Structure 1
């Protein structure tokens, strides 16, 4: 089916009290696994490509974006395409031509006033082109973050930021951290509920790999909507490749271990979507 705008997927999740899973694409195998896992779960999903992933692909957005879009358009479930953690203005401006329905514009490393002005300009530009825009007040833990590990988003500041920038979704600091490889994070569910009441747009949880299933369920119940997951897929991918090569030290055909990696990533996606649903 055609790509579905991220705004529609988030709005539907928000209305029904569910979470929408947004999974990071690094390679074609990631995109295929995300779609396969979503089909197995019977749930919509967002494929997101980060600025770091674009850098990995030599700085060229179009090839990985168009490959991901092609996989998404073959899916039996609704799939959105999201450009994540964009700091480069040229990359932001490439989004419409590459099929993206949404962008996370990240000016969080700037002083607050500059973050507000830059994000407002990005939102105005995006809205004029039909794009949904996500942003954040401060960096997520694990990326030189202000919410590593004890910082939290203030509801009043969050409401003021959303009002000043006119963004469509807000990533908030409630206890998660990027790039965690253990599932030990504990979220502040009371804060999530207060943020939900204070902020008129959907809330986004970054760094969800480190959050256990029961915590994710509680987070969605408290008001989180878009749940970003990246490292979990890479853990599954790398583990499958390690296992395959350990079992056969003479293997040279990458299809033999990449297919296992794709299958294991798909299982991780399916499980996460069932938790969020």
Structure 2
């Protein structure tokens, strides 16, 4: 089963940035007419700056992790959508010049399929991952695990576009979104060589024709889809075998095929080649 792949949020860090460079960024964003919105963030950083360029783009800036108690050079972290980095290239260029290195932290990888949410099945490989709900959205992971590797949510993207942006699609659209956060920091210049491998976290399928499946199997699939019953290991294996062809969503293949093009925009903006 094919799906379109995108990155919803891209997180990176500049290493060994002096405080003066952070203050310079604050000065430059004010002088260049960017909008700064004060935001309370119960996180891990001493300094925060939330910048917006009109209605087009936003940038979250976090400086000096609370664990960094020694010296005068600290980490500066950025979070935004990949394409938004292009809007802040000139603002960030002085930071790039003083940083010792630029690393990739993680991103949200989104797999979109043109079907209703009831046809999307996601089964965790680690059965300790419990499913929770908020409305029609399904989650694997607690709220405080939102930025951890493997956190997943499955939701009606068509509905979200309408509710948040008043965009009405003429077709159904569902999204499987999984956090990709490698154990080791990767140099941003090398990130294209490290596509996410998320098949080891979840098995996913999109059922396009329920009528061809045995009734008992349909019941089991829907129970597992909704988190009502995860059954025994043997039944789970049978469900996956039933869904393997042609319904399986191969996260690894999809990400691998598109990864270089997906990270090209933020890498170009942040590495000084824009």
Q: Same fold (TM over 0.5)?
A: no
Structure index of larger Rg: 2
Structure having the higher helix fraction is 1
TM-score range, shorter chain: under 0.3
TM-score relative to the length of structure 1: 0.24
TM-score relative to the length of structure 2: 0.24
